[in-house]
Amino acid sequence: MQSSTRIMLAAALALGAMPLAVTAQPRPDFGQREFNAKCAVCHGLDGKGAGPLAAHLKKAPPDLTTMAQRNGGVFPVAKTYAAIEGAGGGHGTREMPVWGLDYTIQAAEQLPDLPYNQAQFVRTRIMALLEHLTRLQAK
């Protein structure tokens, strides 16, 4: 195992263990926790777009539970990854934060003295979010 992988694993385990100590409720997974902490404010806890901040945006946050439905029943993995990462900037105004950049900054703040793979730090989080989003898809 690469040392960066081992550090990521240790960090994920440490993060995962925290809520257990505080509460007896079932432990939410990493992707769900990221989503609830960073995305639900706009997209809603259920992903349908009715988060508390939604009314204050110029553009309504899209319903993230219909992404597969709107794509012929297949969850659009690459497109969604790109939408979250925000690389390339896209066109026009973007109200959605650029999470790739956000995670890059977060990595530098959290792991200032540890060797780590920055791209992997970002990718791990976006992949966890994608996994959570696939579970939110309307059947």
Write out the residues near ligand HEC by the rule CB under 6 A: 38-39, 41-43, 53, 57, 59, 61-62, 64, 67, 80, 83-84, 94-97, 99, 129
Q: How far is the CB of 136 from ligand HEC (least distance, A)?
A: 10
Nearer Cβ to ligand HEC, position 26 or 92?
A: 92
Nearer Cβ to ligand HEC, position 83 or 122?
A: 83
Q: How far is the CB of 53 from ligand HEC (least distance, A)?
A: 6
Q: How far is the CB of 96 from ligand HEC (least distance, A)?
A: 3
Question: Which position has the token pair 């969604």?
Answer: 80
- Cβ atoms within 10 Å, residue 93: 8
Nearer Cβ to ligand HEC, position 20 or 53?
A: 53
Cα dihedral 3, 86, 47, 61 in deg (nearest 10): 160
Nearer Cβ to ligand HEC, position 7 or 98?
A: 98
- 86 torsion bin: left (phi>0), alpha (psi -120 to 50), beta (else): left
Q: Is the dihedral of CA 21, 19, 24, 123 positive or negative?
A: negative
* CB within 8 Å of 73: residues ≥ 6 apart: none
